[in-house]
Amino acid sequence: MFLKKVLAVSAGIVLFAPMGAKATTTIDLTTNTSPAVNDGNGAIYERTDSQSTGTGVIRSFVREQAQGGGNNEQGYNTDNRPVQFDELTDPNFTRSVLITQVPIVSIGGGDYRQFLLDINQNNGNGNLLSLNRIQVYLTDNPSITGFDPNASASNGFGSNANLVYSLDGGPNGDTTVALNYDLNSGSGSGDMFLYVRNDLFTAASNGSNNNVVLYSQFGNPPGPNSTNDGYEEWSTLGEGPSLLTAVPEPASIGMALLGVIPLGLCGMYRRKRATA
């Protein structure tokens, strides 16, 4: 379970804005050659073709699925019941997670906390999915609830949690991650790794807020990249604070337009999960 190769690649961030609309920054992970991207805000997004290979390799902590035929979904991990949004209620797959259960990987001389995303969409027509919002928190409450969905880039939990990272909170403003379900073999194969700088967790910690909460939103606004099949699942690899093999620092490519540095990472992770 380690990153095997690092390549310098072309930019993976683009700006998109229909006429008269506000510009949105898109992190494009929709092709087999899509580069991993450093968003300039403390996180790296990497497409992956991780496969299931060993029981106990992953630890699921939240599953989200649009309810009542909806075409977008949102949710976060918690032990609280009832859940607030579109989280599935099985405590084996939607639950609190401690910071010590989120593994660390070293990239370019810096340490990052690693999260794995598995999506489910229709094959062919309808295979694309937009990941519109991510917010990561530290809290002392494993049963936290009461998230404000109108807090687009700020703290949705208010004084109940410390915000570690927000996808929309950086220099690029409103940001979307574009994903492609067809690139992998279906449910059980990971689609994306999210790496969040470990020093951001250290800065947000007060010594007692040891629970990590990850809020995410998919398929909003409704459109061709809406949710249409099955659940989206966030998990971690392993069951402890293991430090994965360090990765050599890659060559960087400056982007004057966006002020970010794309980062190429080519890696293979193997995993297995029990059938729910």
Pairwise pLDDT comparison (51 vs 216), residue with the higher score: 216
Cβ neighbourhood burial of 219 (10 Å; 0-12, 13-18, 19+): buried
Q: What pLDDT score does 188 carry?
A: 59
pLDDT tens digits, residue range 6-65? 333 334 555 444 444 456 799 999 999 999 999 999 999 999 876 553 446 789 999 999
∠ Cα 143 150 138 (to 5°):
35
Identify whether the C-beta of residue 162 lies closer than 8 Å to the C-beta of residue 204: yes
Q: Tokens 């949705």 belong to which residue? A: 156
**Contacts of residue 152, Cβ cutoff 8 Å, sequence gap at least 6:** 133, 168, 174
Model confidence pLDDT, tens digit, residues 133-190: 999 999 999 999 999 999 888 999 999 999 999 999 988 899 999 999 888 765 556 8
Checking if the pLDDT of 267 tops 60, the result is no
pLDDT attached to residue 190: 83
Kindly tell me the burial class for residue 105, based on how many C-beta atoms sit within 10 Å of its own C-beta (0-12, 13-18, 19 or more).
Answer: buried
**What pLDDT score does 71 carry?**
84
Q: Which of the two residues, 1 and 217, has the higher pLDDT score?
A: 217
Residue type at position 125: N
In 69-127, where do the E strands start and end? 73-76, 97-98, 104-107, 110-118
Proportion of the chain above pLDDT 70, given as a percent: 73
Cα–Cα distance measured from residue 135 to residue 216, given in angstroms and rounded to the nearest whole number: 7
Provide the pLDDT for residue 240. 54
- Give 182: exposed, middle or buried? Use CB within 10 Å, 0-12, 13-18, 19+: middle
DSSP secondary structure letter of residue 202: H
In the predicted model, is pLDDT for residue 202 greater than 90? yes
